[in-house]
Amino acid sequence: LSYPVLQCDETTVQVLKEPGKDPESTSYMWVRVGGPPLRPIRLFHYADSRRGEVASALLAGYKGYLQTDDYAGYNTVCAENSITQLGCWAHARRKFIDAQKAASSKTKKTGKADVAINLIGKLYAIEKRIKVLSPEEKYSTRQNESMPVLIAIRQWLDKTLHSTLPKGLLGKALSYLEKNWKKLTIYTEDGRLCIDNNPAENAIRPFVIGRKNWLFSASVRGAKSSANLYALIETAKANELEPYAYLRHVFKELPKAASVEDVEALLPWNVNMQTIAIN
């Protein structure tokens, strides 16, 4: 929470023995992706709901930028704490891809969805090229190259929005773009920001894939333990550590820890991959 750039995402999880809830009911695993560039952190949190109160608790005291999909549960905490919300161009593009697939099944002509996907692709081409640059260089490039593309997208959106049926897939994609336009352009204001929420989605994806195999948690305690383990593993991966070797190192050294400093020495960014590979 001390680093002013944060991403969040959530996914469902089933807990069989949760007080006050049916075994078939839905609970949620939340993930926060942040930390300074040299200390990336992936924190998982189990909650029995997707209510805004959970978002408020997870973001208590936070100041800075928050990037999510368009889930409204973050709106209150952001408004109350002057947190700047960012949109996700991956979500916007996905909606146009859905519209493109539906249109291509009927006609082979280049349609409005193709135009949007092509323009958004130009934004991503710029991001791919500047990925290794410093935040200052990213900011400069986005101002010089991304802003003209965004202006072109906005002009196209203004011409297209009101000439398209709102209830179709294309109409919904255009409406999403219009509704989230301000959030979608904020990433150009700071070179530390991302064009999309993919880092958070990538962090939570292993949990989603794993859920297809293990299906549920038996208890709240088990769900919380899963959150802790996924946080350790995904943070280790973000810090370029091999997860299995890292966990072996942690389980070997943690019983010897006699102070807070000893525990902090086991945090992923304080561990040398070569050392744990030898051990």
Residue-wise pLDDT tens digits, 84-137: 999 999 999 999 999 998 876 555 555 899 999 999 999 999 999 999 999 999
Residue 190 confidence (pLDDT): 97
For residues 256-263, give the mean pLDDT.
Answer: 97
d(CA 88, CA 265): 35
- Helices 112-129 and 89-104: crossing angle in degrees, nearest 10, is 140
Cβ 170 vs Cβ 164: under 8 Å:
yes
Averaged pLDDT score across all residues of the chain: 94
- What percentage of the chain reaches a pLDDT higher than 70? 96
d(CA 213, CA 232): 20
d(CA 10, CA 264): 27
- Range in 39-48, 191-200, 264-273 the model is least confident about: 264-273
Residue 278 confidence (pLDDT): 63
- Helices 198-214 and 220-238: crossing angle in degrees, nearest 10, is 130
Burial tier of 98 (Cβ tally within 10 Å: 0-12, 13-18, 19+): middle
Residue bearing tokens 């209150």: 76
Q: Which residue type sits at 84?
A: T
pLDDT at 179 over 90: yes
